[in-house]
Copies of this chain bind each other. A is one copy, B any other.
Amino acid sequence: MKKVRKAERIAAIVNILTENPNQVFTLTYFCQMFNCVKSTISDDIDGVKEVFKSYELGTIETISGAAGGVYYNPLMSRDQMLEFTGQLSEQLSDPSRIIPGGYLYTNDLLYCPKTCSKIGNALASLFKDVDIDYVITVETKGIPIAMMTARVLNKPMVVVRNKSKLTDGTVIYMNYMSSSGHMIKTMCLSTKAVKKGSKVLFIDDFMKAGGTAKGIIELMQEFECEVVGVGVLMATKQPIQKLYHSHKSLLLLSEIDEKNKNVYIKTAL
């Protein structure tokens, strides 16, 4: 077999690790790929580690021992997160986003793969130390950012629906009260969706009083699962007392002033 040069090995290793965030690859995997010894791959990875660190490209982590290996974690630094949430705040503060009724149009950003990937990176970075089995969300607008968060964390996503479809099979249906307390809403989830005893991270695009988060926590209790984190793209300043207290948010929305066409959003970090 042809001998593969260092730069070539590194190109392939970095592509494979980057395409598969938080997935552990054994050194043997790469040894077989390049027909070389472990110490060679080990050296290559040490070099990559350094570069990623100096250019803030996320981190390359190694696990030693028999079950060891290497993986890529596209973590954002605090400065990178501040810069990104600053840009997002600016984009979202554009008065042309104000919708009749005093809402904010955000679909273009939530559905833009590039923005959405970065939101996923940022949300995953907020929960990097939390051990989870699933990322959970509620249809519809939160799905892309939940998917991108799940992609970074390398965990399956679960989507709770407002109404079940035939393809969900048997579902658990739950009624819950909207935050305003004026409306009964429903959420449902297939009984096949999560394993008993799992830890879940709830991700959504928006939180006002936290009624949905509270609903998800109660629904997860029915599945004997625990919500160990709640992360949202944007939370409103009011009410300060949310139904779920310890959420983490990337952005803080203070006010949408429909009359004077002003939107007040800033980073929540």
When each residue 148-176 of chain A gets 1 if its CB lies under 8 Å from chain B and 0 otherwise, what string results?
A: 10110011111101000111111000000
A100 touching B169 in the complex, CB below 8 Å, given contacts A113-B157, A158-B111: yes
When each residue 67-103 of chain A gets 1 if its CB lies under 8 Å from chain B and 0 otherwise, what string results?
A: 0000000100000000000000000000000011101
- CB of A140 within 8 A of CB of B139, answer yes
Interface band, chain A: 35 or more
The 8 Å CB contact of A156, one of B33, B112, B190, is B112
Residue A259 is within 8 A (CB to CB) of chain B in the complex: no
- CB of A147 within 8 A of CB of B113, answer yes
- CB of A14 within 8 A of CB of B18, answer yes
11 contacts between A and B (CB under 8 A): A7-B47, A8-B51, A10-B14, A11-B14, A15-B58, A23-B114, A100-B169, A103-B169, A105-B192, A140-B140, A140-B165
Query: Which residues of A approach B to under 8 Å, CB–CB?
Result: 6-8, 10-12, 14-16, 18-20, 23, 33, 44, 47-48, 50-52, 55, 57-58, 74, 99-101, 103-108, 111-114, 116-117, 139-141, 143-144, 147-148, 150-151, 154-159, 161, 165-170, 190, 192-193
